[in-house]
A and B are shown apart, each in its own frame.
Chain A
Amino acid sequence: MSLPAVRFFHRGRVVAVEGASPTRSVLNWLREDARCTGSKEGCNEGDCGACTVVVAELAEHADAVGTTSARATVVGGLSLRTVNSCIQFLPTLHGKALLTVEDLQAIAQGMAVADPGVGTLHPVQQALVDCHGSQCGFCTPGFAMSLAACYERHCEAGSQPTRAELADELSGNLCRCTGYRPILDAGERMFTLPPKRLDTAPIVAALRSLQGQQPGDATAEPAAGFHTPRTLAALAALVESRPQARLLAGSTDIGLWVNKQFRALGEIVYLGDVDELKRIEWQGDTLRIGAGAPLEDAWRALVGVAPALAEVWRRFASLPVRNAGTMGGNVANGSPIGDSAPVLLALDAALLLRRGAQQRRLPLADFYVDYMKNRLAPGEFIEAIELPRPAASTQVRAYKLSKRFDCDISAVCAGLALTLDGETVVQARFAFGGMAAIVKRAAAAEAAVVGQPWTEATVQAAMAALATDYAPLTDMRASAGYRLRASQNLLMRLWLETRPVAPLPTSQTNVWAAA
């Protein structure tokens, strides 16, 4: 093996792609090289879902996460996750399996490869046909793959999704024709048809054989300039020795740098094969979220800490983006409109940073310096996000405002934690995204409530103080005026929900909870 090669399972066999550019997208490889044109390019930025595919990896890697959350994706020894193939780089598939719409009829017909469009359809496909779930058909392969992943997970678990859960499963798929009702119908109907399941055994065997080909190798380079360390120590050593190298996790932002801005990435260190980095675990009263844990898993864990975060979890990007993207990546990226940071700030999170063998802890509140600038030293990276278990007297809320419920970037995102002693505020952490060049806490508003009785007058004072905490910008998501007014009103919403006397249930304060 002289040349590096990206090896992965595709349509019944292991393929070896030599000489691939490290930033060649999975979608372009599929369409242009493999001539599998079922997956479509609709936006080239991971927002429309026409390119949705399933990436499968051995469950033991996903299992390394150590919480039950990752097992939610496990089917027959494999972890199945939908991703947007337009923003995934081909070398990230190394050692994994790629399932596309072309595979669905093969699954239905019990073959390694079947002729798409001919013969028996997969239950997902048949249900879409029966329910009139396609019109122009361009988005349909992506919907089929999102539904197929949902189908396998639920069949494995013996469960069925509710209609609302189905809509969440499809948060990353845009359809411009149908209005979605028939697609949701199909999502229900697919479970009523004679089942056809993915036979994972050949894939598991192929992936094991691929694993065996790199015995003891802590790092590999499936494409030139594309490093895939497998251990935390190997990663730390690589990053320390190559401080200029670009760290790549889910590529949900970096993919756009390539596709839209034509930026050259240089040397790439891919984090996705470091199992230790994906771990989510309690260490005493500290929840440690590995920086490489998929956003979906990390948010599931956060919701375990504070159930009120569930809405922001559902609304954070889309399921395929949460499957690919990582919470460490979202924090490190440092966008002022990322939704992790305000929530983590409210939860008093700290970052575990690593450089070589050295670790240090830094409160997240001290991490951001300026727009897209942070306190990471050269050669240093985020190893984990740590947060304390909130006190029983602490109430946590997260509010997201955007033009659309699903998969929209926040105009404002608030992470709010309030600790009361009787009717007195003893602690407050109010953090806002979208209000400044960095996500940060509202010091003046917090000061206005701490030590005060939690009354309408107090919250009015905090609302007024918010105007001194932030001077937001006007952009295409919202005006500065709206951002400020709405942020102030979100403090009012917090008060209404947490006031000592007659607090309102969310069904009376939040349209997404109202009936």
Chain B
Amino acid sequence: MAGVPDARCHSPTHPRGPTLHLAAAPPRRPWHEQEQETPVNKQADAFLVDSSTQPPSEQTAPEAGRARPHESAHLHVAGAAPYIDDLPELVGTLHAALGLSPVAHGVLKAIDVERLKALPGVVAVLTAADIPGPNDCGPIVHDEPILATGHVHYLGQPVFAVIATDRERARRAAAQAKAVLSIDPLPPVLSALEAHAKRQYVLPDMHLVRESAPGALHAALAAAPHRLQGTLSVGGQEQFYLEGQISYACPTENAGLKVHCSTQHPSEMQHLVAHALGWRSNQVQVECRRMGGGFGGKESQSAVFACVASVAAVKLQRPVKLRVDRDDDFLVTGRRHGFEYAWEVGCDDAGRVLAAEVTMVSNAGWSADLSGPVMTRALCHFDNAYWLPEVAMHGHSARTNTQSNTAFRGFGGPQGAIAIEVILDSVARRLGLDPLAVRRANFYGTTSNNVTPYGQQVDDNVIAPLVDTLAASSDYAARRAAVAAYNAASPVLKKGLALTPVKFGISFNVAHFNQAGALVHIYTDGSVLVNHGGTEMGQGLNTKVAQVVAHELGIAFERVRVSATDTHKVANTSATAASTGSDLNGKAAQDAARQLRERLAALAASMHGGMPEAVRFADDRVHVNGANLDFDALVAQAYAARVQLWSDGFYATPGLHWNRETLQGRPFYYFAYGAAVAEVVVDTLSGEHRLLRADLLHDVGRSLNPAVDIGQVEGAFIQGMGWLTSEELVWHPKTGLLMTHAPSTYKIPTANDCPPVFRTALFENNDNVEDSIHRSKAVGEPPLLLPFSVFLAIRDAVSAVGGHRVDPPLRAPATPEAVLDAIDAVRAAR
């Protein structure tokens, strides 16, 4: 049994100890020194955090940095953590279902509402005409009606809503959409390249060009010793949050509304609901205790469900719940943008890129949604970890008659970075070099060659030492030789190996989103409640924020309770997105808790003497001028002394600026780094592959909670692997029906896809150079790029078929068919 600690059973021995293991006894050696164990994918016991000797932090409370379970774990395992559909329903609750367009493009002529109203259990039918305010839920561009009017733009677009006495009847009535809708069909455009050819976009083009002198890019390309070009196709990805989209809207007094919404962005839901109702924001309260996963899919796209439930609830003055069936969730909402690329690079004999030009066409779907920011992030991540002296990037957000694509963990970053990784892989093959050598030759420098194409200096660069550490610990060089030997002797199966790095920018590209608020209450019994603007979707944000508060006040974690995200508590919050949840809300909560600590310290010093700054809070006690008080007692005294025992906190990330027009500035507070090595085996007869081993090394700065962070790294790796391997989206080429519209046809990874050897570690000894919350780094999105290694390992194995002389034209996802196509192409070309 690999030691997996019950963190609660171990009393903390060091405050922010020099080493922190997730694993319990026996004593561990550094993970990279461990002998090869039986190959199982247990947690490498293994990861060390913060092994540098640090002076004790100013507070001795141990919470920040402690590996502890998710604050709701004991509820999750008991089925006792309520999601919105689990909340007791109010008497009189009605249920809504959406009537969806059965055609991908057309003119909406009529809706036979009377026919729907006559169906069993139907209480009301809503169409666009029933929306009191503007019929619009577009998050940035106002091109997205809540319910279709005039035209329908994709198969699955909500056209009407049925409100019925129960969910089953609502669904049955809504399923009559085809019979009640009169639509004159128009020809649909279903692929990004087709839309690009027609110059049909949701937004203006974006061009991010960095040249040493005008015309230098093309001159460098022309003069380069080696010049390569190619294309690449990368599919989209469904979020597949296990809890589908849901909103439950309940009328309250005096033209008010409370909406329970599974959303990453309660404030935006509040604003959009108020907008749809023609109300002011203060009339709408949006609450979310937890989501059953979000991954970006509940950032902007929870809006249609919130708005429809709310309009129905207000119109009928009854509570209305809208929980969509999984198939409808797939048909209505968008997902990660698929990208098409055309690229050209020039490089020297060492594979150093001298100039690069790339055109990226994303499939935006029918409306803008977040496609603009997604493309921006894609352009800002094409460089990944590499210095590109002359570079031009062109981004096109193609308008197609499909679901409107949206945020998904990484938000364009993965789509930008995978292109350069494939390019460097091709460069290495052309030059007959190891791809790792080519990558290293192109890494950003630390003192020179360290400015990104968008003008931000990279001044926290650890990619080279990180990759060195991983290459050593994963035995990359020896395994490269072993793979070659295996392939030489294996007629059918071929192995592949790849190491890929990640550099990911942390912050919203829009500077003003980088703010957060929190409230911390200390009750008179010494218990603490914290509320903040972030949302909990499984990533452990509430756990980390509670740890920050407990740390700041020197009290036990168990004293701190985190309450539901609620627009009536913290106002004007940003989406919990862009990996910023802990950075922003942790800082805001720390600010609130610090103010309380300072008030308590002042009181303690006034009673016991000494300086307030010298008062120390630790282990539920307060140390002041030689005295040692119980935290509860001090709180009671503070109440009696009329000290305010609750506080707000606020945080705005410093130093950010961004020019949307020039695509220049400092959009990111810092960068997170990582790298992964993957080894696969590919069947050259069937195109199947299996991941045999993965070694991950990821930089989270000084981890707030290594257990949570490891969970994020591994989870992102498997999720990103799904994107690049098994998760294929297929639309019917004529009707535009999304044929992969449920887990029966859309295949996310399962337990057997977890590699038999899976070694994950957090990069040691790496403080964040910026003043982030306890010097930690964001971890939600960056590790989603680690499984590029899997895709490129497959490409390496396919390449072996042609003796590594032919560049495999492998598309993503690398399904058996895609792999076999690439193998056949390599065979044909060799």
On A, residues with C-beta under 8 Å from B are 28, 31, 35-45, 47-48, 50, 100-102, 104-105, 116-118, 121, 124-126, 128-141, 144, 163-164, 166-168, 170-171, 173-186, 188-189, 192, 259-260, 262, 399, 401-409, 411, 475-479, 482, 485-486, 489-490, 492-493, 496, 504, 508-512, 514-515
- Shortest B297–chain A CB gap in Å is 10
Contact B79 A141 (CB under 8 A): yes
Which of B86, B683, B726 makes the CB contact (< 8 A) with A511?
B683
Rounded to whole angstroms, the CA-CA distance of A407 and B240 in the bound complex is 16
Rounded to whole angstroms, the CA-CA distance of A359 and B685 in the bound complex is 44
Q: B residues 325-384 with Cβ under 8 Å of A?
A: 325-327
The answer to the question of B411 belonging to the interface, with a C-beta cut-off of 8 Å to chain A, is no
Contact B754 A167 (CB under 8 A): yes
- Shortest A212–chain B CB gap in Å is 33
Q: B residues 666-707 with Cβ under 8 Å of A?
A: 681-683, 685-690, 692, 707
Stretch at the interface among B206-214, B432-440, B488-496, B801-809: B488-496
Rounded to whole angstroms, the CA-CA distance of A42 and B747 in the bound complex is 14
Contact A185 B243 (CB under 8 A): no
Contact B719 A176 (CB under 8 A): yes
Tell me which residues across on chain B come within 8 A of A117, comparing CB atoms: 74-75, 78, 80-81
Contact A134 B70 (CB under 8 A): yes
- Shortest B176–chain A CB gap in Å is 10
Q: B residues 703-735 with Cβ under 8 Å of A?
A: 707-708, 710-711, 714-719, 726, 728, 730
Rounded to whole angstroms, the CA-CA distance of A144 and B75 in the bound complex is 12
On B, residues with C-beta under 8 Å from A are 1-2, 4-6, 40-43, 69-70, 72-83, 85-86, 88, 168, 171-172, 175, 239-244, 290-293, 295, 325-327, 490-493, 537-540, 681-683, 685-690, 692, 707-708, 710-711, 714-719, 726, 728, 730, 739-740, 742-745, 747-754, 756, 758, 760, 815-817, 820-821, 824
20 A-B contacts, Cβ less than 8 Å apart? A35-B88, A39-B79, A47-B744, A117-B74, A125-B77, A126-B77, A133-B77, A138-B538, A139-B242, A140-B77, A163-B41, A163-B42, A176-B239, A180-B751, A184-B41, A185-B42, A262-B172, A404-B749, A485-B824, A486-B685
- Shortest A101–chain B CB gap in Å is 4
- Shortest A422–chain B CB gap in Å is 24
Contact A44 B78 (CB under 8 A): no
Tell me which residues across on chain B come within 8 A of A406, comparing CB atoms: 750-753
Contact A176 B78 (CB under 8 A): no
Tell me which residues across on chain A come within 8 A of B744, comparing CB atoms: 43, 45, 47, 409
Most chain B CB neighbours (cut-off 10 Å) among A38, A192, A409: A38
- Shortest B729–chain A CB gap in Å is 9
Contact A38 B70 (CB under 8 A): no
Contact A50 B717 (CB under 8 A): no
Contact A128 B686 (CB under 8 A): no
Tell me which residues across on chain B come within 8 A of A408, comparing CB atoms: 747
Contact A486 B816 (CB under 8 A): yes
Most chain A CB neighbours (cut-off 10 Å) among B40, B240, B244, B744: B744
Tell me which residues across on chain A come within 8 A of B78, comparing CB atoms: 38, 101-102, 104-105, 116-117, 121, 125, 141
Closest 9 CB pairs of A and B: A38-B79, A136-B538, A138-B292, A117-B80, A137-B76, A179-B718, A135-B538, A101-B79, A47-B743
Rounded to whole angstroms, the CA-CA distance of A131 and B760 in the bound complex is 15
Tell me which residues across on chain B come within 8 A of A128, comparing CB atoms: 73, 76-77
Contact B681 A37 (CB under 8 A): no
- Shortest B810–chain A CB gap in Å is 14
Tell me which residues across on chain A come within 8 A of B492, comparing CB atoms: 493, 496, 504, 508-509
Contacts A180-B753, A401-B686 known; 17 new A-B pairs at CB < 8 A? A37-B82, A41-B244, A42-B242, A43-B743, A132-B711, A135-B70, A136-B291, A140-B76, A174-B242, A182-B43, A184-B754, A402-B816, A406-B751, A486-B687, A493-B685, A511-B690, A514-B493
- Shortest B538–chain A CB gap in Å is 3
Rounded to whole angstroms, the CA-CA distance of A249 and B823 in the bound complex is 43
Given that A511-B681, A514-B690 are known contacts, is A180 also in contact with B1, CB under 8 Å in the complex? no
Rounded to whole angstroms, the CA-CA distance of A188 and B41 in the bound complex is 12
Contact A178 B711 (CB under 8 A): yes
Contact A492 B2 (CB under 8 A): no
Contact B293 A176 (CB under 8 A): yes
Tell me which residues across on chain B come within 8 A of A183, comparing CB atoms: 751
Rounded to whole angstroms, the CA-CA distance of A180 and B749 in the bound complex is 9
Tell me which residues across on chain B come within 8 A of A510, comparing CB atoms: 493, 683
Rounded to whole angstroms, the CA-CA distance of A125 and B72 in the bound complex is 12
Q: Of all chain B residues, which has the CB nearest A25?
A: B168
- Shortest B163–chain A CB gap in Å is 18
Contact B751 A185 (CB under 8 A): no
Q: Of all chain B residues, which has the CB nearest A169?
A: B751
Tell me which residues across on chain A come within 8 A of B815, comparing CB atoms: 403
- Shortest A152–chain B CB gap in Å is 17
Contact A138 B242 (CB under 8 A): yes
Tell me which residues across on chain A come within 8 A of B711, comparing CB atoms: 132, 135, 177-179, 182
Rounded to whole angstroms, the CA-CA distance of A375 and B728 in the bound complex is 36
Which of B83, B295, B728 makes the CB contact (< 8 A) with A403?
B728
Contact A180 B75 (CB under 8 A): no
Which of B175, B241, B685 makes the CB contact (< 8 A) with A176?
B241
Contact A135 B690 (CB under 8 A): no
Contact A121 B243 (CB under 8 A): no
Contact B739 A475 (CB under 8 A): yes
Rounded to whole angstroms, the CA-CA distance of A192 and B796 in the bound complex is 41
Contact A401 B730 (CB under 8 A): no
Rounded to whole angstroms, the CA-CA distance of A136 and B41 in the bound complex is 22
Contact A181 B41 (CB under 8 A): yes
Which of A136, A173, A490, A509 makes the CB contact (< 8 A) with B243?
A136
Tell me which residues across on chain A come within 8 A of B80, comparing CB atoms: 38, 116-118
Tell me which residues across on chain A come within 8 A of B718, comparing CB atoms: 178-180
Tell me which residues across on chain B come within 8 A of A189, comparing CB atoms: 1, 4
Rounded to whole angstroms, the CA-CA distance of A189 and B43 in the bound complex is 12
Tell me which residues across on chain A come within 8 A of B72, comparing CB atoms: 134, 137
Rounded to whole angstroms, the CA-CA distance of A475 and B295 in the bound complex is 28
Given that A176-B240, A179-B714, A185-B43 are known contacts, is A171 also in contact with B69, CB under 8 Å in the complex? no
Rounded to whole angstroms, the CA-CA distance of A167 and B740 in the bound complex is 25
